[in-house]
C-alpha cells in the first residue's frame, strides 16, 4: 500500500474497528495498541479481541516480520499472535483475518523508537519520591470528573470511597510546588483505567492496562505530564498491578480461557499471609492460598504461569516506559504474584532499560522476609527476584514508634532504629530500600491533631527519613501535617490536599494558605529536601553508626572526604554527651548545624536539649 493510501485508510478506520466493504468483524481490543521496532526482545504478542474472531484465518502483510504463532483460546473471541520482529523496520502492516468471503484488515503500527533504553534513568538514593493519589491531590479539570458511559458516574468529596475529581492536570499544575519543596520524583498511585461500579478512585482494579482512566486524563496527557515533570527535574514512577485486575476488565468478563485467572477464574479469597512464600516450613496449601487466592472478589487474581498472561503483562509495562518515558515502576502486592514470573518480568524490563528502577510492595514484617525479595538476596538463592528495590516496611513500623517513646541504651525509641539497621547485612543492597513514614495504605505519620502539633516529633522523623540509607518516599500532605488513622477507614488516609479544588477554603500550596504550624513543618521539610538534593554524602555515601548512649543516636554518612553527622536526642530530657567515643566521625572541634545555621562546639561534652537534633556537615 502506498503511504498516501495507507494514511487515507488509517484516517477512515475508526481506531481498531477497521474493516473493508466485505468485512463484518469489529475489533473490540487490540493490545498493545502499537509497538516499536528495535526493541531488545524481538518477540511481540498481539492480543486481538472481537466477536467470533477465533475462527478466522490469520495472516499478516508485513516486511521482514514473521508471524511465528497464532494461538486460539477457549473463548471464540480472541486471537493471540506472536510475531518475530528481529529483522523488522518501523512500518504499518496489516493483520488480515479471513472468514469465508469476509476479510478484515487491521492496521498495526510498528513505530520508530524515540528513546534509547540506556537513556531511561531510574530513581535511586539521590531521589526523594513524593507519593500522590491522583483522585485526591488536585482537580485541574472539573469537566472530566464524570465521564459519560463509565460505571461510577458521580463524584462526592464527602464520600471516603467515592471519586473526588482529582486528575493529571491537577498534578501538572502543582509540579512547581513539588519541585520547590525539594522532592525529585513523583510516584502516582495507579492511573490506568478503573471502570468499576464503585471504589474506583484508588486505581487498584485496572480494567484496561493500556488506557489512562479518562477521569484522570488521556494517555497523551500522561505522557505530557511525564515530560513536564522531567523539565522540572522530577522523575515519574508509575504504579502497576500484575497480581490482579478489576472484575470489569474485558479479560475477565470475556476471559480468553479460565486459566487466565487463578482457581480457574472462580473467586477464592487470599489469606494475605505471604510470609508463607519464603517460609521453609510452609504447607503447600499456605503458599497456594496466599498467592493464588484473590485480593478481593472484585479483583480477580491473574495466573502469571499462563505464558500468554505473562507476556501480556510484561509488554504492558514496557509499553508505558517506551511510550511515556517513566523512570520507575512501583509494583503492587509483589509477593502475591508468581515469584518466577515476577523475576522474569524484572529481568526483561532491565534488559530493555538497564538503568531503570522497580520497587515492589513487599509488605512483610521483618527484614528477613523483605530482604528475600530483593535482587541478589542470599536468602532467596539460588532463586533471584531481580527486583532492585524493596519497601522497608519493618523500618516504617519502627519509625512510627521511635519518636514517641523514650530512648534508652537497651530499648525503646531510637534504639529500635539503631538495632534494626545493625541487621542490614541481611539486605543485598540496603541503599535500594524504599524508606517511608507512611503511604496510602497505612495510617499517616500524624494520626491525629495532637500528633501533628508535636513539631519536635515531626522534625526528628523527617531528619531520620531523609538521612538514613535508602530511597525516601514522602506521602503527599505529610509536609503540611495532614492527619489520618487507618482505624477510621482507608479514605481518611487519602484526604484531598487543601487548595487542590476550586473554592477550597485554605490553599496549602501557598504560605498564606498554611497555618503557622503547617508553615513550620513545610519550611523544615523544604530545607532538608533542598539540602539533600544532589548531595552525594546521602545519595552515595556510606553509613556508620554508634550504639545508643545517653538516649542519643549518632550516625555518619560519608562520601570521599565529605560527611554529614546526625546527632539525635531520643529523650525528653537534656543530655550531656561525652564526645570522645565519636571522634572518628567528628574530625573538627566545631561544625555548622544545617538545621539552624548555628555553630556547634564539639569539644569534650555536647549539651543537647530534650529531643534536639543536629545535622553537622564536614
Ligand atoms: Ca477532574
Label each residue of 96-146 as H, E or C. EEEECCEEEEEEEEEECCCCCHHHCCCCCCCCCEEEECHHHCCCCCHHHCC
pLDDT of residue 469: 98
Instruction: Compute CA distances 64 → 37, 42, 85, 90, whole Å.
Output: 11, 12, 7, 10
To the nearest whole number, what is the mean pLDDT of the chain?
95
Neighbours of 422 (CB within 10 A): 10
- Check residue 241 and give its pLDDT: 98
127, 208, 332, 556: which one is catalytic? Answer: 332
| pTM reported for the whole predicted model | 0.95
Rounded to the nearest whole angstrom, what is the distance from the C-alpha of residue 133 to the centroid of ligand 1? 13
Cα of 510 to ligand 1 centre, how many Å? Answer: 21
Cell numbers for 297: 472478589
pLDDT confidence of residue 24: 52
pLDDT score at 22: 47
Write down the pLDDT at residue 6.
39
Give me ligand 1 centre to Cα 282, in Å: 47
Q: How far is the CA of 478 from the centre of ligand 1 (A)?
A: 23
**Sheet of 91-99, strand order:** 35-36, 102-111, 91-99, 57-61
332 is catalytic: yes
Residues 141 and 213: their CA atoms lie apart, in Å, by 14
Distance 224 CA to ligand 1 centre (A): 17
Q: Which three cell numbers stand for residue 215?
A: 477521569
Read off the pLDDT of residues 423-432 as tens digits, 9 standing for 90 and up.
999 999 999 9
Distance 10 CA to ligand 1 centre (A): 31
Q: Which residues of the chain have pLDDT under 70?
A: 1-24
Separation of CA 139 and ligand 1 centre (Å): 5
Torsion over CA of 372, 378, 379 and 385, rounded to 10 degrees? Answer: 40
The 10 Å CB-count burial string (b at 16+, else e) for 477-488 is bbbbbbbbeeee
User: For residue 81, what are the β-bridge partners?
Assistant: 46, 70
For residues 103 and 21, what is the distance between their CA atoms, to the nearest angstrom? 9
Q: What is the 3-state secondary structure (H, E, C) of 329-391?
A: EEECCHHHCCHHHHHHHHHHHHHHCCCCEEEECCCCCCHHHHHCCCCCCCCCCCCCCCCCEEE
pLDDT in tens, 106-152: 999 999 999 999 999 999 999 999 999 999 999 999 999 999 999 99
The residue ranges of DSSP E strands in 416-551, in sequence order, are 433-436, 471-475, 542-545
Would you call 593 a catalytic residue per the annotation? no
Identify the active-site residue in 208, 301, 361, 479.
361
CA of 150 to the centre of ligand 1 (A): 14
- CA separation for the pair 49, 445 (Å, rounded): 46
Amino acid at each position: 500500500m502506498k503511504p498516501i493510501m495507507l494514511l487515507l485508510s488509517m484516517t477512515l478506520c475508526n481506531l481498531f474497528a477497521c474493516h473493508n466493504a466485505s468485512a463484518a468483524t469489529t475489533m473490540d481490543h487490540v493490545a498493545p495498541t502499537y509497538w516499536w521496532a528495535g526493541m531488545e526482545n524481538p518477540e511481540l504478542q498481539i492480543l486481538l479481541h472481537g466477536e467470533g474472531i477465533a475462527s478466522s484465518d490469520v495472516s499478516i502483510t508485513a516486511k521482514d516480520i514473521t508471524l511465528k504463532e497464532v494461538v486460539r483460546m477457549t473463548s471464540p473471541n480472541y486471537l493471540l499472535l506472536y510475531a518475530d520482529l528481529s529483522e523488522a523496520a518501523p512500518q504499518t502492516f496489516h493483520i488480515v483475518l479471513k472468514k469465508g468471503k469476509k476479510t478484515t484488515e487491521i492496521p498495526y503500527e510498528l513505530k520508530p523508537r524515540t528513546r534509547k533504553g540506556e537513556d531511561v534513568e531510574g530513581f535511586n538514593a539521590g531521589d526523594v519520591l513524593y507519593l500522590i493519589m491522583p483522585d485526591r491531590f488536585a482537580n485541574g479539570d472539573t469537566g472530566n470528573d464524570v465521564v459519560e458511559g463509565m460505571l461510577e458516574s458521580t463524584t462526592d468529596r464527602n464520600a471516603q470511597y467515592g471519586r473526588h475529581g482529582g486528575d493529571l492536570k491537577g498534578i501538572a499544575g502543582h509540579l512547581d510546588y513539588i519541585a520547590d519543596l525539594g522532592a525529585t520524583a513523583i510516584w502516582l498511585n495507579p492511573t490506568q483505567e478503573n471502570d468499576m461500579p464503585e471504589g474506583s478512585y484508588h486505581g487498584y482494579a485496572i480494567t484496561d492496562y493500556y488506557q489512562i482512566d479518562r477521569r484522570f486524563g488521556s494517555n497523551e496527557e500522561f505522557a505530557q505530564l511525564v515530560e513536564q515533570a522531567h523539565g522540572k527535574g522530577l522523575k515519574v514512577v508509575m504504579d502497576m498491578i500484575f497480581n490482579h485486575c478489576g472484575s470489569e476488565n474485558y479479560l475477565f468478563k470475556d476471559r480468553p480461557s479460565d486459566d487466565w485467572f487463578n482457581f480457574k477464574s472462580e473467586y477464592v479469597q487470599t489469606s494475605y499471609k505471604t510470609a508463607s512464600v519464603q517460609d521453609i516450613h510452609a504447607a503447600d496449601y499456605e503458599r497456594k492460598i496466599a498467592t493464588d487466592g484473590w485480593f478481593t472478589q472484585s479483583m480477580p487474581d491473574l495466573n502469571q504461569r499462563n505464558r500468554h498472561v505473562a507476556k501480556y503483562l510484561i509488554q504492558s509495562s514496557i509499553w508505558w516506559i517506551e511510550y511515556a518515558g517513566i523512570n520507575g515502576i512501583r509494583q503492587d502486592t509483589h509477593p502475591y504474584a508468581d515469584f518466577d514470573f515476577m523475576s522474569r518480568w524484572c529481568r526483561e524490563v532491565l534488559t530493555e532499560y538497564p538503568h531503570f528502577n522497580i520497587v515492589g510492595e513487599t509488605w512483610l514484617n521483618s527484614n528477613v522476609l523483605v530482604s528475600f525479595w530483593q535482587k541478589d538476596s542470599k536468602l532467596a538463592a539460588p532463586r533471584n527476584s531481580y527486583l532492585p528495590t524493596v519497601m522497608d516496611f519493618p523500618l516504617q513500623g519502627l519509625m512510627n514508634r521511635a519518636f514517641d517513646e523514650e530512648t534508652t541504651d537497651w530499648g525503646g525509641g531510637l534504639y529500635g532504629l539503631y538495632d534494626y539497621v545493625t541487621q542490614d547485612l541481611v539486605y543485598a543492597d540496603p541503599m535500594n530500600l524504599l524508606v517511608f513514614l507512611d503511604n496510602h495504605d497505612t495510617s499517616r505519620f500524624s494520626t491525629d491533631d495532637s500528633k501533628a502539633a508535636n513539631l519536635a516529633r515531626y522534625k526528628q522523623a523527617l531528619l531520620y527519613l531523609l538521612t538514613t540509607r535508602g530511597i525516601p518516599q514522602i506521602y503527599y500532605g505529610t509536609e503540611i501535617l495532614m492527619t489520618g488513622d487507618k482505624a477510621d477507614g482507608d479514605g481518611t488516609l487519602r484526604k484531598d490536599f487543601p487548595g487542590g479544588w476550586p473554592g477550597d477554603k485554605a490553599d496549602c500550596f501557598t504560605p498564606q494558605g498554611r497555618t503557622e504550624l503547617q508553615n513550620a513543618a513545610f519550611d523544615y521539610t523544604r530545607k532538608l529536601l533542598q539540602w539533600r538534593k544532589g548531595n552525594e554524602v546521602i545519595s552515595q555515601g556510606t553509613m556508620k553508626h554508634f550504639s545508643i548512649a545517653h538516649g542519643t543516636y549518632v550516625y555518619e554518612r560519608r562520601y570521599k572526604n565529605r560527611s554529614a553527622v546526625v546527632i539525635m536526642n531520643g529523650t525528653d530530657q537534656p543530655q550531656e554527651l561525652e564526645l570522645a567515643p565519636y571522634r572518628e566521625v567528628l574530625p573538627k572541634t566545631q561544625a555548622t548545624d544545617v538545621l539552624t545555621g548555628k555553630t556547634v562546639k564539639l569539644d569534650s561534652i555536647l549539651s543537647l536539649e530534650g529531643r534536639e537534633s543536629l545535622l553537622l556537615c564536614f
